[in-house]
Amino acid sequence: MTIMLEDVDEVVRALRTVLAEEQILTGRADRFNRARVPAPFPVHRWAERVPDVVVLPTSTEQVAAVVKIANGLRVPVVPRDGGTGLTDGAVPLRGGILIDVKRMNQVHELDLANRTVTVGTGINMLKLNEYLAPYGLFYPDDPASYPCSLVGGRIGTSGWSLIGARYGHTRDLVLSFDHVLPTGDIMHVGDGIGRKVSKSSSGYQLKHLFMGHQGTLGIATRATLKLFPKPEAELSPFWAFDNYDDAYACTGALARAGVATFAGAVLFDEHKVAYLRRDDEAYIPQPTDVRALVCAAMYGWDDEVRVGGKRLFRIAKEHGARYLGDEISEGDWAARHDRYATPLHGRTKDGQVVPMSWHCEDAAINYSALPSVTKAWHEIVADLRRRTDVFDDWGMFAYTSGSTGVDYLTEIDVGIWEQQLDDRAWAMWVDAKRRLARVALDHGGSISACHGSCREGEVDLVPEELGRGFDVMLDIKRTLDPNNIMNPGKYLLDRAYPQEG
């Protein structure tokens, strides 16, 4: 379905009717630089994934006009926001038009009475919070990619927030948004139709449908977001354990404690601690008997955080925790965004330092299944490593998802020596992803809690995970996108179109 060169000229001619010349990019570097995301990439097949044209619209109307043109000409459209996703949502698989929304980064309205802000989806959360700071407000959507991911991408992936246990995740924080459908029609979607309504029982709950579709159902262009008082106090204790089991038990107890200011807890397993000790120069050295770590975070007013914090400290102590002190706690928690991107090198088995990409696979796993999944996942990566130095085990995290501790974002970090990727190595990796996803399903979990599950490998198991629900996805896709132009090739949705499936 990739459009041919002569067709590109036709597309560009059509685009010129709705966009200025400088909003249409056709240069090779422009296109290649919008073909990748942080997840390791079959770089030797980069050329297969570039868009034919890139556009930089500045308004909902322009986005709609571009999508209408694409739909009329049957040209693929791929939305791209921050391009920080890990499941290839922003990577074009069939060429076509890439809609880069970064120029839609305005703050349109700040409503202090109802405590909302309406923004273009091309705005970054950190920049938005810099804008909000003088009002004593903040928007608490806090992914690890907080300094560079954009609100629109958060909607398209239904992103995860590190402090979601306190404030909710993207789906809870986005009240409503303007959305361009695959036909180019513009709709407003929220709970009900309300622009600033957080809970409605009117009609189907469409808002969730248009979040997390990885760009297969259209493009969000302007969003109204829920705001909170900028926290007066932040408490982020790091506790050390001499074994994983105690750390695991402690994490569960913290999450179940029902402390209102509790924003989340993270469990670092032994491989993660070993990795940090070995290769993260920023990691504050710990005694060798530290084998697992738990970091909790609390946000709120000073008086409530103090009281809640005491309770959490008491729980940790009961589980054998050793508090690592204010310096380590504050320093390491402050680094939570940066650290995820820090490991730009890994090691071969004989210890040689080489440039490596960071990749993390994630799943939603119930608390009770965590130890078993952790063990099974490490074994899968150990198997990769046994076969080649292309892969390195960088350990695992488990993040609390909500305030009750029912399930966890469970993540394994894998170093990949991207310079050495070829078809064999890539196939090995894709197979490993399939096995990792299988473990999640076998434990009653979901393939992804955070990044989405539409990439090569894990996506193969999505129909199995969703069952009849996957057929509903196909029905919806076929209805809303009759010509399969929106981000085609993702999520096995080609199956909605008999001639392509």
Which stretches of 227-301 are DSSP H helices? 244-256, 270-279
Backbone dihedral region for residue 133 (phi beyond 0: left; psi -120 to 50: alpha; all else: beta): alpha
User: For another protein, which residue of 145, 158, 224, 261 counts as binding (CB under 8 A)?
Assistant: 145
C-alpha 228/C-alpha 7 separation (Å) is 49
Closest distance between another protein and the C-beta of residue 283, in Å?
Answer: 9
Closest distance between another protein and the C-beta of residue 398, in Å?
Answer: 12
Whose Cβ is closer to another protein: residue 275's or residue 399's?
Answer: 275
Which range touches another protein (CB under 8 A), out of 184-192, 211-219, 335-343, 398-406? 335-343
Which range touches another protein (CB under 8 A), out of 126-134, 156-164, 182-190, 478-486? 126-134
User: For another protein, which residue of 171, 345, 478, 495 counts as binding (CB under 8 A)?
Assistant: 345
- Footprint of another protein on 73-92 (CB under 8 A): 82-84
Q: Copy the structure tokens of residue 177.
A: 């948004």
| C-beta pairs of 469-472 under 8 Å, 24+ apart in sequence | none
What angle in degrees, to the nearest 10, is found between the helix axes of 244-256 and 370-387?
140
C-alpha 341/C-alpha 382 separation (Å) is 22
Report the half-sphere exposure of 397 (CA within 13 A, side-chain side): 24
The H or E element containing residue 441 is helix 423-442
C-alpha 411/C-alpha 346 separation (Å) is 18
Report the half-sphere exposure of 497 (CA within 13 A, side-chain side): 18
Closest distance between another protein and the C-beta of residue 290, in Å?
Answer: 12
State the number of binding residues for another protein (CB under 8 A): 103
- Footprint of another protein on 439-468 (CB under 8 A): none
Sheet holding 77-80, edge to edge: 24-25, 53-55, 97-100, 77-80
Backbone dihedral region for residue 172 (phi beyond 0: left; psi -120 to 50: alpha; all else: beta): alpha
Task: Give Cα 443 to chain centroid, integer Å.
Answer: 22
Whose Cβ is closer to another protein: residue 208's or residue 387's?
Answer: 387
User: For another protein, which residue of 186, 197, 206, 335 counts as binding (CB under 8 A)?
Assistant: 335
Residue given tokens 């890990």 in the structure block: 86
Whose Cβ is closer to another protein: residue 45's or residue 74's?
Answer: 45
Q: Are strands 97-100 and 77-80 parallel, antiparallel or unpaired?
A: parallel
Closest distance between another protein and the C-beta of residue 114, in Å?
Answer: 14
Closest distance between another protein and the C-beta of residue 340, in Å?
Answer: 8
40 binds another protein (CB under 8 A): yes
228 binds another protein (CB under 8 A): no
The type of residue at 173 is L
Q: Copy the structure tokens of residue 220.
A: 């969000």
Whose Cβ is closer to another protein: residue 386's or residue 468's?
Answer: 386
- Footprint of another protein on 105-124 (CB under 8 A): 105-110, 112, 122-124
User: For another protein, which residue of 142, 270, 411, 458 counts as binding (CB under 8 A)?
Assistant: 270
Backbone phi, psi, residue 40, to 5°: -50, 145
Q: Copy the structure tokens of residue 335.
A: 């680094």
- Footprint of another protein on 55-74 (CB under 8 A): 56
Find the length of the chain.
Answer: 501
Whose Cβ is closer to another protein: residue 26's or residue 483's?
Answer: 26
- Footprint of another protein on 284-303 (CB under 8 A): none
47 binds another protein (CB under 8 A): yes
Closest distance between another protein and the C-beta of residue 295, in Å?
Answer: 17
DSSP for 391-421, written as a single string: EEEEEEEEEE-SSS-SEEEEEEEEEE-GGG-
User: For another protein, which residue of 138, 160, 239, 275 counts as binding (CB under 8 A)?
Assistant: 275
DSSP for 183-238, written as a single string: TS-EEEEESBT-SS-S---SS--HHHHTSSSTTSS-EEEEEEEE-EEPPSEEE--E
Closest distance between another protein and the C-beta of residue 446, in Å?
Answer: 23
C-alpha 313/C-alpha 71 separation (Å) is 57
Which range touches another protein (CB under 8 A), out of 60-68, 203-211, 334-342, 361-369? 334-342
Closest distance between another protein and the C-beta of residue 69, in Å?
Answer: 21
**Mask of contacts with another protein, 234-263, x by CB under 8 A?**
----------x-------------------
- Footprint of another protein on 148-187 (CB under 8 A): 148
Whose Cβ is closer to another protein: residue 30's or residue 304's?
Answer: 30
Whose Cβ is closer to another protein: residue 129's or residue 261's?
Answer: 129
DSSP for 323-388, written as a single string: E--HHHHHHHHHTHHHHTT---EEE-TT--EEE-EEEEEEEEEEGGGHHHHHHHHHHHHHHHHHH-
Which range touches another protein (CB under 8 A), out of 178-186, 293-301, 342-350, 433-441? 342-350
- Footprint of another protein on 374-413 (CB under 8 A): 374-375, 378-379, 381-383, 385-390, 392-393, 395
User: For another protein, which residue of 285, 350, 467, 499 counts as binding (CB under 8 A)?
Assistant: 350
- Footprint of another protein on 20-39 (CB under 8 A): 25, 27-30, 32-34, 36-39
Closest distance between another protein and the C-beta of residue 22, in Å?
Answer: 9
